Amino acid sequence: MTSPDTYAGARIARMEIIPLQMPMKTPVKISHGAARPCIDTLLVRLTTESGLTGVGETQAWRRQGSAETLASLAAVLRDHFQPLVVGRSPFSLASIMARLEQAMWHSLYAQAAVSDALYDLQGKILGVPVHALLGGRCRASVPACVVLFMKPTVEQTVEGAAEFQARGYRSFTVKVGVDARQDVRLVAALRERLGPDAILRVDANAGMDFDGALSLLRKLEPYDIDAAEQLLPLGDVAGMAELARRSPIPLMVDESLASDGDLIDIVCRRAGTAIHTKIGKNGGIWGVRKLMTIAGAAGLRIYPGNHPSTSVATLAAAHVATAWDGPLLDGAFTVGIDALADDVVREPVRIEGNAVEVSDAPGLGVELDEDKLRAYRADL
């Protein structure tokens, strides 16, 4: 019987770690920390003995739920993961991912880049898209949501939202959690400008306390909010469950959700009725699929998202969504395509209207641009 490690003669000969600093079109601001003019992201490129390559992406987000830096991610990948990956077959994905977790517990951000590089490599070896490896195409395209980062004035945010609506977007997530009065004014203005058919959500990125969150939710009730995302700190799942019981608006979980064990706890406590998945935060395609399966079985809504990312992680999320046979919310998986000033692939993701159509090209369907990699490479 052929060993999985020799299937199709494929063995991984090299792991390359590529840290990047990608500029934003304009600085992005959430409830935690200062506005950021750039995002720290990292690519892993795996090369087989025959010269085929696969690529995956993760981020050093450095906010609630992430203590990673580019240097720490690179150290984990180089010192702990590389010996467990080089020499293996990309078709030993399940075994490799289990060993990575054993080598460095809860290292989901680092694992994400390896997971997706393995999937990309499998697809290229077999000549099929990643969504075919995940069960096959279940939808022609994947609708996306606009993320409205914090701006100095209500008017700036509303005008930006209106521009996105004119392009075809129908779902909007607005950042809140610093000034409750400003938040209410902003949501009211967005509802008035975008109309009754626009889907509005709010997201505090774990930046509020219980009393402030409950007060804000009650004040936002008249504006038909589809979901309020992660108002409370990530460790306060008990508080989130109590807030969910008392809230007039459905709650979505993000920063509190990293692993499948986290999701089981959230389901058992009824701490939310929707989840926000992210490629980096949740361990790549390998981890996100587990979460979606649990959420689907528990009757939770699924919001496929991302940290601001290049086309690599954007397409990883899009492939997972393309192969998902259940309902999905319009997700923030394209946030990087809207927010980044540039990309590192030869043909960046294109959003038609409000949706991404995932091609049938082998793997993730991306080719890295070596000039862009050199231009944005970060010094560690």
Q: Strand runs (DSSP E) across the chain, as ranges?
A: 12-28, 36-48, 53-59, 142-143, 146-148, 171-175, 199-203, 225-229, 251-253, 274-278, 301-305, 355-356
- Domains of the chain, residue spans: 4-130, 132-364
pLDDT at 63: 79
pLDDT in tens, 12-68: 999 999 999 999 999 988 887 788 899 999 999 999 999 999 999 999 988 778 889
Tokens representing 247 are: 């809230």
pLDDT at 4: 46
pLDDT at 35: 86
When the candidates are 3.40.50.300, 3.20.20.120, 3.40.50.2000, 3.30.70.20, the CATH number that belongs to 132-364 is 3.20.20.120
Which DSSP state fits 50? T
CB atoms within 10 A of CB 192: 11
Res. 168: pLDDT tops 70: yes
* SS3 (DSSP) at 238: helix
Q: Is 353 left (phi over 0), alpha (psi -120 to 50) or beta?
A: left
Query: Which segment of 25-34, 123-132, 364-373 scores lowest on mean pLDDT?
Result: 25-34
* Model pTM score: 0.95
Which DSSP state fits 33? S
Res. 9: pLDDT tops 90: no
CATH top-level class of 4-130: alpha beta
Rounded Cα gap, residues 373 and 88, in angstroms:
26
pLDDT at 367: 97
Count of residues in the chain = 380
pLDDT at 38: 94
Rounded Cα gap, residues 337 and 195, in angstroms:
25
Q: Which residues of 36-45 are buried (b: 16+ CB within 10 A; e: fewer)?
A: bebbbbbbbb
Percent of the chain with pLDDT over 90: 92
